[in-house]
Amino acid sequence: MTGAEPMAIMAIASVVSTAAATGIAMYSASEQAKSQAAIAEYNRIQNEQNAAWQRMAAERAAQSEQYNAQLAMYNAQAQAQQGEFNASLSRYQNEQMRQQSQFSDMQAQMQRNAADQMRQQADGQDRQAREQADRIRAEKARILGLQRSQYAAGGVTTEGSPLAVLADTANLYEMQVADTRLLANLESNKRRYEADVTDFNAGITALEGKMMRDQATLNDSAVGFNLSQDLFASKMNLNSARMAFNDAQFAEKAAGAGYRINMRQAAIEQMAGNATARATAMGGYTALASGIGSMANTGMSYYNSRPVDRSTSPGGAFNPNASVRRATIA
């Protein structure tokens, strides 16, 4: 074995080692690039799915909010309509109350008129009682005169029994007058009492009518106040519902914008992953070029360091077949 043979073996071994390392690096870079590209594609799919789910969830939530806002707007409008209906109903009830108060006033006046008639009837009964008493006294005077004339015609004096008869007759007539007056007083007093009771009831009826008018006036003020409150609350609720509806519409549009942003982000991340994969692949090609350069350097080093012998061609060019033959002969 000559001195050049170990150098040739070492050069071949170095070339083989470099080629193996280069192939491994190239294969590793290629597989890593494929893996990075696959991961980028997987991440893109996942990001797009997540973006789609987020958009769907956001849009459904926004649509639900829009429905609730529309329902709130309907309720606010219904509140205003209910307030106006309540006000109309209260005004109608107040008008009915005023009509009832007028009817109460009429009843009270009728009761006063009835009381006046009762007093007039009582006064008439008193007059009738006086007239009846006068008639009874006139009848008494006639009867007593008739009795005296009969006694005189018969020659009977008025002393003794005739006088007693005359006195009894006068007493009977006076008792009749007293009973007549008593009965008339009872009837007239009863009428006057009924008139007083009727007057009192007329006062109660008139007071009820006044209370109803006052209540109707008070209710008119309350109707306006309550209607103003209901309309104000309805307007505030309607404005709030409209704001919520607009916010829900904005949220629905924002969901679409967010979806497009997420899709672009997914595409950007995929492009970044693909760029990394391409960089890794380029790293493999760089390793390949480096390995080829290293093998070339090894060959050149071996060529420059070998001794000149007969295997060299006359022109000084390297003949690799001669070297191989020398190594085979050895």
User: Inter-axis angle of helices 161-305 and 4-153, to 10 degrees?
Assistant: 170
With a cut of 50, say whether residue 315 has pLDDT above it. Answer: no
Cα–Cα distances in angstroms (integers) from residue 21 to residues 81, 187, 294, in the given order: 88, 146, 11
How does DSSP classify residue 197?
A: H
With a cut of 70, say whether residue 131 has pLDDT above it. Answer: yes
What is the residue type of 73?
Answer: M
- Around 94, how many Cα atoms within 13 Å sit in the side-chain half-sphere? 18
Q: Yes or no: say if 318 and 46 are a contact pair by the CB < 8 Å rule.
A: no
Percent of the chain with pLDDT over 90: 9
> Using 50, 70 and 90 to split pLDDT, how confident is the model at 293?
low
Pick 38 or 318 by higher pLDDT.
38
DSSP assignments along 125-155, one per residue: HHHHHHHHHHHHHHHHHHHHHHHHHHHHHTT
Distance between CA atoms of residues 221 and 227, nearest Å = 10
In Å, how far from its chain's centre is CA 245? Answer: 13
What pLDDT digit, counting tens, does each position of 43-64 carry?
878 888 888 888 888 888 888 9
Distance between CA atoms of residues 203 and 22, nearest Å = 124
- Around 192, how many Cα atoms within 13 Å sit in the side-chain half-sphere? 11
User: Which residue in 229, 205, 280, 320 sits closest to 30, CA to CA?
Assistant: 280
What pLDDT digit, counting tens, does each position of 146-201 carry?
766 766 665 655 555 656 666 777 777 777 777 777 777 888 888 889 899 999 99
Which pLDDT belongs to residue 239? 92
Percent of the chain with pLDDT over 70: 71
> Using 50, 70 and 90 to split pLDDT, how confident is the model at 71?
very high
